[in-house]
């Protein structure tokens, strides 16, 4: 296309005209200036400063549209060929405004980086494809059928039987609530029985795992299931206790706090994807069967991807490595960094499989309405924000049954936060140390190490918020990301 035929060039270069032009030219420019506001409201929408990189050239587009519109209105008076006189004339200024380079410190966080993100995705795919090919050429296909099922799995039947007997404890908790509802037992007795039930539901699997030579994955699955049952039973007992207190209180708010122990509501709560008990939940109108099938296929694919990464990458690196604390320091750093990438991939696949796919599948089958199982933790600016967003079921349980009860009992906020992290650290240690039969408190120390990280990242956020902006603080957070620190610590 010839340069004179481009409407963008035609309009954008006629914004500044020398005063030596003819009267018809001046009349044309005057008409253009008088109709600027009208044209702006009709044809061009003002930019919303959303970061798409176009706000700087907004005035140019407005002037181009105005000039083009005015030329069209006076088409009968001025021939189209005369418009060439205003196109890139040497006397027209090429620089009319102060502008920043897109990558300057003042403008880099005010625009979209979608193109750079796409480039990073392409580079990531290319690099990992090369690593996969290199790994297959070096080690061959390492995945065996024993990864999914082996003869040793048959020896885990005591763990399976223990898992099947765990529903006895929610039934016992229901019986206790029914007895107190009928005034057969007092409140102190109710508290004592619930403590016995909830403590037994954790100690029973621990004893079974320690007495059996079970596989690691089987032990982890049983301990996770036992911890979930414990959290649900605590919520069930605490919520019913609070509902009884409100029902007896003179400040109760009508039927909202009517205490009714229902076995049906308990059964739904025990299988629902939540840790916080309430008599009823928001429900969806129907089950989308085709959606469940699609999500189930994704779950199978990403579970297989996790197994592939573990067997094909992580295990060979670990088996061919020395102990990181007994060899050369540079060698240890190289091993840790080499393991950090596949460990990160496994963790991301685990998060996607469990928190997005599995919990949403379970919620769809049960028509469970509240599906905020996680928030955008990848945009967290501090470690504190990360812990509030990455695991919403546990976060809601902590806030409801530990944090605010501590505050209501006069415990300072900082101490309440430490208590919440202490409970989390204990259960992380149980889920790792018991299946491994190794009690060295690595998981416990890794979680409690998050407390000083919370203080550090909060300080850095307050210090650099004004100078670096939101995205700059997010970069600082990722340097101190709890999962990164915990993964590297676990490798050691």
**Which residues are annotated as catalytic?**
428
Q: Any long-range contacts for 397-404 (C-beta under 8 Å, 24+ apart)?
A: 397/231, 397/235, 397/275, 397/276, 398/423, 398/424, 400/235, 400/276, 401/234, 401/235, 401/238, 401/276
Residue closest to 380 by CA, chosen among 447, 448, 460, 452? 460
**Residue whose token pair is 């300080």:** 459
Q: What is the dihedral of CA 391, 396, 398, 401, to 10 degrees?
A: -160
**Encoded tokens for 479:** 């340097």
Q: CA 281, CA 397: separation in Å to the nearest integer?
A: 15
Distance CA 172, CA 492 (A): 43
Cα separation, 276 vs 253, whole angstroms: 21
Q: Minimal CA–CA distance to 242: which of 191, 172, 192? A: 191
Give one DSSP letter per residue of 293-358, joined into a string: HHHHHHHHHHHHHHHHHIIIIIHHHHHT---TTTS-HHHHHHHHHHHHHHHHHHHHHHHIIIIIII
Structure-token pair, residue 84 = 């060439």
235 Rama sector, left if φ>0, alpha if ψ -120 to 50, beta otherwise: alpha
Q: Give the number of other Cβ atoms within 10 Å of residue 451's Cβ.
A: 18
In angstroms, the CA 274 to CA 228 distance is: 9
- Burial label for 276, CB within 10 Å (0-12, 13-18, 19+), is buried
Q: What end-to-end distance do the CA atoms of the chain give, in Å? A: 64
Is the distance from CB of 428 to CB of 482 less than 8 angstroms? no
CB 392 within 8 A of CB 372: yes
Structure-token pair, residue 146? 């024993």
Which residues, 6 or more positions from 36, have their beta carbon under 8 angstroms from its beta carbon?
62, 63, 66
Q: Under a CB-based contact definition with an 8 Å cutoff, are residues 36 and 62 in contact?
A: yes
């Amino acid at each position: 296309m010839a340069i004179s035929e481009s409407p963008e060039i035609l309009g954008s270069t006629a914004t500044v005209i020398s005063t030596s032009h003819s009267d018809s030219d001046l009349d044309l420019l005057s008409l253009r200036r008088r109709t600027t506001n009208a044209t702006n409201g009709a044809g061009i929408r003002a930019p919303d400063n959303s970061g798409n990189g176009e706000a700087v050239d907004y005035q140019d587009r407005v002037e181009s549209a105005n000039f083009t519109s005015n030329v069209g209105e006076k088409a009968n008076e001025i021939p189209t060929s005369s418009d060439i006189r205003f196109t890139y004339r040497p006397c027209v200024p090429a620089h009319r405004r102060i502008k920043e380079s897109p990558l300057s410190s003042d403008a880099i966080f005010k625009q979209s980086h979608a193109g750079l993100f796409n480039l990073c995705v392409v580079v990531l795919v290319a690099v990992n494809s090369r690593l996969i090919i290199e790994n297959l050429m070096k080690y061959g296909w390492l995945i065996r059928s024993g990864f999914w099922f082996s003869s040793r799995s048959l020896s885990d039947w005591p763990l399976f039987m223990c898992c099947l007997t765990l529903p006895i404890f929610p039934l016992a908790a229901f019986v206790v609530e029914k007895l107190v509802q009928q005034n057969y037992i007092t409140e102190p007795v109710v508290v004592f029985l619930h403590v016995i039930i909830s403590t037994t539901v954790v100690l029973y699997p621990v004893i079974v795992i320690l007495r059996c030579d079970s596989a690691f994955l089987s032990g982890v699955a049983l301990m996770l299931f036992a911890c979930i049952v414990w959290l649900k039973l605590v919520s069930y007992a605490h919520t019913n206790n609070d509902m009884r207190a409100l029902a007896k209180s003179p400040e109760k708010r009508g039927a909202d706090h009517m205490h009714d122990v229902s076995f049906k509501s308990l059964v739904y709560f025990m299988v629902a994807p939540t840790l916080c008990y309430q008599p009823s939940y928001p429900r969806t109108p129907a089950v989308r069967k085709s959606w469940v099938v699609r999500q189930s296929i994704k779950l199978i694919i990403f579970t297989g991807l996790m197994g592939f990464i573990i067997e094909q990458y992580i295990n060979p690196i670990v088996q061919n490595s020395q102990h990181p604390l007994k060899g050369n320091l540079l060698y240890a750093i190289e091993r840790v960094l080499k393991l950090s990438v596949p460990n990160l991939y496994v963790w991301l696949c685990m998060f996607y499989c469990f928190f997005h796919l599995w919990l949403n599948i379970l919620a769809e089958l049960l028509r469970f309405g509240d599906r905020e199982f996680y928030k955008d933790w990848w945009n967290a600016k501090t470690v504190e924000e990360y812990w509030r967003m990455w695991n919403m079921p546990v976060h809601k349980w902590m806030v409801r049954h530990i944090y605010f009860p501590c505050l209501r009992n006069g415990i300072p906020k900082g101490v309440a936060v430490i208590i919440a992290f202490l409970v989390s650290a204990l259960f992380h240690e149980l889920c790792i140390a018991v299946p491994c039969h190794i009690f060295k408190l690595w998981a416990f120390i890794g979680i409690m190490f998050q407390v000083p990280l919370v203080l550090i990242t909060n300080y850095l956020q307050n210090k650099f918020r004004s100078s670096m902006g939101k995205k700059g603080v997010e970069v600082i957070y990722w340097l101190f990301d709890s999962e990164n620190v915990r993964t590297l610590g676990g490798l050691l």
